Amino acid sequence: MSARNLKVSEAAALLGVSPDTVRRRAVATGLTLEKEPVQTLAAADVARLATAEAPDTPFPEPTSPFSARNRFGGIVTRVLRDGVMAQVDIQAGPFRMVSLISREAADELDLEPGSLVAATVKATNVGIEALS
């Protein structure tokens, strides 16, 4: 799969900052801003920014018609797959969540660093829904 890019405005919404702040942070950390046709960042780079700046950022609200408490929009920062299971790390604003799901589910959702997801937390379980 080719690497996904996020518009600067999408990255800003995920990080809870302005697009100008995203541009400044990208330049300060040496990230590449693609400029055609609009400014974008690699989703994996946005995931790294989200992880690095987690204590300072609010979490984004998922934009889905489903209703659930403890539902957080976020970005995948790491996926570790083995034969049967996958560990998925998600950064949702200041919150880091880890979900253990089947490898088949991770593959079907095409999860990789930079994937936009909604995590639904119930007791000790974290369910994952791909947002895009």
Task: Give the pair of three-digit tokens for residue 78.
Answer: 């790491």
Distance CA 13, CA 58 (A): 10
pLDDT value of position 84: 96
pLDDT tops 70 at residue 45? yes
Residue 39 and residue 33 in contact, taking contact as beta carbons nearer than 8 Å: yes
The pLDDT confidence band at residue 105, using thresholds 50, 70 and 90, is very high
Higher pLDDT, 29 or 89: 89
Q: Quick one: tokens of 16? A: 């809870």
Residue 125 covered by a domain: no
- What is the pLDDT, as a whole number, of residue 2? 47
Structural domain includes residue 31: yes
Encode pLDDT of 70-101 as tens digits. Answer: 788 889 999 999 999 999 999 888 888 899 99
Q: Which domain holds residue 11?
A: 5-46
Number of domains the chain contains:
1
Q: Is residue 34 part of a domain?
A: yes
